[in-house]
Amino acid sequence: MPIGHVYIIGAGPGDPGLITVAGAQALGRADVVLYDALAAPQLLRLARPTAELVYAGKRANSHALSQEEITATLVLRAREGKTVARLKGGDPFVFGRGSEEAIGCREAGVPFTVVPGVTSAIAAPAYAGIPVTHRGVASNFMVVTGSGADFEEETIDWVAAARVDTLVILMGAGTLERLTSRLITAGRPPETPAAIMRWGTRADQSVVRGTLETIAIQVREAGLGSPMVTVVGEVVNLADDLAWFVPGPLAGRRVVVTRSRADSSELGARLSALGALVVEAPVIATHWLTPNSSLRAALLSKPEWICLTSPNAVAAVAAELTAAGLDARALAGVRVAAIGEATAATLRAGGIRADFVPGRAMTEALAEELPVTAGDRVVLAVSALADDRLRAALNARGALVERVAAYETGFEPLDPGRLREVSGADAITFTSTSTARNLARALQGTSLPAGARLISIGPQTSEAVRAEFGRVDSESATSSLESLVQAVLDALR
């Protein structure tokens, strides 16, 4: 078996938009993705739907995998012939131990590529309006670690660190008082401006400014912990004029999206644009049943109506037509109904305008309002798990209904990292009955946080959420993503 390849990728400091093009392309090629706790979860949507996702997060006193286990996994998967992406926060060669993983690959004879990332040492200050250099103020800077062996074993030249124009310290939440004391002892004036950025570049970033003498006390009073970046130097004062980053109305609020990985991107992007910390918890795996001779025959039989009850149904129909070497023209003369605006929008994206959308995005409304007459043939392209209410209701009106399974949805478990993110959520969105059932299954009996707002996209989904969790806090006015996002805004304001 030919050996695979390992990509050691810098994910950037937190804002998912800061990943490089090369990093995104490498993620898209991967069969296996090992990702850190500090890598933006939204980046996982760049991976292929079939990629294996392995949580390798490491936080203080909490390691999903040890460093040795991570390196061994990279080597093992590559020896299986897999393309492996190792997604690391920031830059993998800046206190990221990426070099150790690269050495492990080289010693095992596994080819690897290093994809540099935007380091938090520069990006976090920049998002706080602090440049690490500025003409006439700072012509040099140094980056040191505030924790780990280098710090504890006194291998850092603190006298040299005290002399540079700008000093950037990565990590060090638990050692900040010792850090500032060492710098003052080494000759840095106590009144030197200093700033702390926690979760720099993210919508929930926190910035505390003070002096070298006061910053540790200020951070303790503000209750800030890791991850943090510390900047010491006159450049800190430039933030008075250069601060530019203004988070949106959902800044710092953690919102869970439970749709499948393939479907979560648009909802996640809309929420992220408002400043939300989007947690993608894809508890649904969707599979098109292609090739699907029953669906193909039904679509091409020229029925009076084709009814599509979800965007997934639209995608499944499109996939079947493509597999047959056809496109939307094959449906000429056939009227198409969409259950709601989200499904209609997906149709429009494929060049088809829905002939009918009911007043309410509900199975009952579609069954009651669809303009059929006795004897009309109707094809229902639905999930393999869909109930039979729509077919029965249309049959009762005299329609000749053919129900065809176009796709199937299955359960997708959540890794420990995602489960931890869900447990700290401010809001959880549900876009189908399956998302409610599957999230309950993924939680394995663990209760949702009492303060989390449970937000549903419609009445049928609300029923499932109540059945699983005992409550629904908000329901969107329509089944559109715009309405769901507005419901999140209203609930969290």
Q: What is the dihedral sign for C-alpha 99, 101, 107, 111? A: negative
Residues 163 and 186 in one domain: yes
Please determine, for residue 443, whether its predicted confidence score (pLDDT) is greater than 60.
yes
Residues 13 and 108 in one domain: yes
Task: Out of 58, 355, 362, 415, pick the active-site residue.
Answer: 58
Among 149-158, 356-365, 484-493, which stretch is predicted with the lowest mean pLDDT?
A: 149-158
Residues 131 and 23 in one domain: no
Structural tokens at position 314: 């639209």
Average pLDDT of the segment spanning 432-445: 90
At 21-47, the pLDDT tens digits run 999 999 999 999 999 888 887 898 889
Residues 298 and 192 in one domain: no
Task: Out of 82, 91, 142, 171, pick the active-site residue.
Answer: 171
Instruction: Quote the number of domains for the chain.
Output: 4
At 400-423, the pLDDT tens digits run 999 999 988 888 888 787 888 898
d(C-alpha 161, C-alpha 431), whole Å: 52
- Is position 82 annotated as part of the catalytic site? no
Indicate the length of the chain as a whole number.
Answer: 493
- Answer yes or no: is 248 within a domain: no
Query: Could you tell me which residue, 386 or 401, shows the higher pLDDT?
Result: 401
pLDDT band per the 50, 70, 90 thresholds, residue 429: very high
- Is position 91 annotated as part of the catalytic site? no
pLDDT at 50 (0 to 100):
82
From 377, 411, 445, the end of a domain falls on 411
Residues 150 and 233 in one domain: yes
d(C-alpha 82, C-alpha 135), whole Å: 48
Residues 230 and 261 in one domain: no
At 123-143, the pLDDT tens digits run 999 999 999 999 999 999 999
Residue 269 sits at the vertex; the CA angle it makes with 266 and 275, to the nearest 5 degrees, is 150
What's the domain range around 27? 5-117
**Amino acid in position 445:** G
Q: What is the CATH number of the domain that holds 155?
A: 3.30.950.10
The answer to whether the pTM exceeds 0.75 is: no
Task: Out of 15, 31, 36, 263, pick the active-site residue.
Answer: 36
From 393, 411, 429, the end of a domain falls on 411
Query: Could you tell me which residue, 417 or 262, shows the higher pLDDT?
Result: 417
Q: What is the CATH number of the domain that holds 438?
A: 3.40.50.10090
d(C-alpha 192, C-alpha 183), whole Å: 10
- Percent of the chain exceeding pLDDT 90 equals 64
At 60-114, the pLDDT tens digits run 555 578 899 999 999 999 999 999 999 999 999 999 899 999 999 999 999 999 9
Name the β-bridge partners of 455. Answer: 429, 474
Residues 279 and 299 in one domain: no
pLDDT at 263 (0 to 100):
65
pLDDT at 151 (0 to 100):
67
Residues 369 and 449 in one domain: no
Query: Could you tell me which residue, 453 or 60, shows the higher pLDDT?
Result: 453
The residue behind tokens 């806090």 is: 473
Q: What is the CATH number of the domain that holds 28?
A: 3.40.1010.10
- Answer yes or no: is 153 within a domain: yes
From 73, 88, 117, the end of a domain falls on 117
pLDDT at 102 (0 to 100):
96
d(C-alpha 354, C-alpha 342), whole Å: 11
- Answer yes or no: is 249 within a domain: no
SS (H, E, C) 44-99: HHHCCCCCEEEECCEECCEECCCHHHHHHHHHHHHHCCCEEEEEECECCCCCCCHH
Please determine, for residue 237, whether its predicted confidence score (pLDDT) is greater than 60.
yes
CB contact set of 92 (below 8 Å; sequence gap of 6+) = 8, 9, 10, 86, 98, 99, 101, 114, 115, 116, 117
- Is position 142 annotated as part of the catalytic site? no
Residues 111 and 167 in one domain: no
Residues 97 and 145 in one domain: no
Residues 432 and 389 in one domain: no
Average confidence score pLDDT of the chain: 90
